[in-house]
Structure 1
Amino acid sequence: MNRKILFCGLLFSGMLLAPAVSRAQEEPDQIALANDVFENNFYEALKQKGIENYDKALRALEICRAEEPNNPVVYHEIGKNYLALMNYPEAEKAFLKATELDPKNRWYWVGLYDVYYQTQDFNKAIPIVQKLTEWRKEFYQEDLVSLYMYTEQFDKALTLINELEQTVGQTERREMFKLQILSNNKLNKPKKQDLEEAIKKYPKEESNYLELIYLYSESNEEEKAEKIAEKLAKEIPESDWGQVSLFKFNLNNNKGDEAAKSMFRILGSKKIDRKIKHRVLNEFIIFAYNNPQYYNDLEKAVDYFADDEEVNVPKEVGKFFFTKRNFDQAGHYFQKSLAADADDIEAIELLLYTYQESQRFDELYTKATEYTELFPTHARLYYFAGFAANKKQQYKKAKEWLENGMDFVVEDIELEAGFNRQLGEAYAGLGDEKKKEAYFSKANKLQKPGE
Structure 2
Amino acid sequence: MKTKLYILLFLFGIFLLPQCSYAQVDFNKRPDDDLGDVDDKYQEFFFEALKQKGIENYQKSANALLQCIEINDEDPVLYFELGKNYKALKNFGAAEEALKEAVSKSPENEWFLDELYDVYIQQDDMNKALKTVRQLVKFHPDYKQDLASLYIRLEKYRDALKLLDEMDEQLGYSEDRDYLRNQVYNITGNDDDRIENLEDRVKTNPEDESNYLRLIFRYSETGETKKAFNAAKRLQSINPESQLVHLALYKFYLDDNDTANAIASMKIVLTSLIIKPEAKAKVLNDFVKFVGENPEYESDLIEVTALVSEDKSIKTLLELAEYYLKSNDKEKALGYYLEALAQEPNEFRIIRDVLLLELDLDKNAEAAARSNEALEIFPAQPILYLINGVANNKMNQPKKAIESLEIGLDYIVENPKMQSDFYEQLSNAYKQNNNMRQSETFAKKAKAVLKDQ
Smaller-chain TM-score bracket: 0.3 to 0.5
Q: TM-score, normalised by structure 1?
A: 0.47
Q: TM-score, normalised by structure 2?
A: 0.47
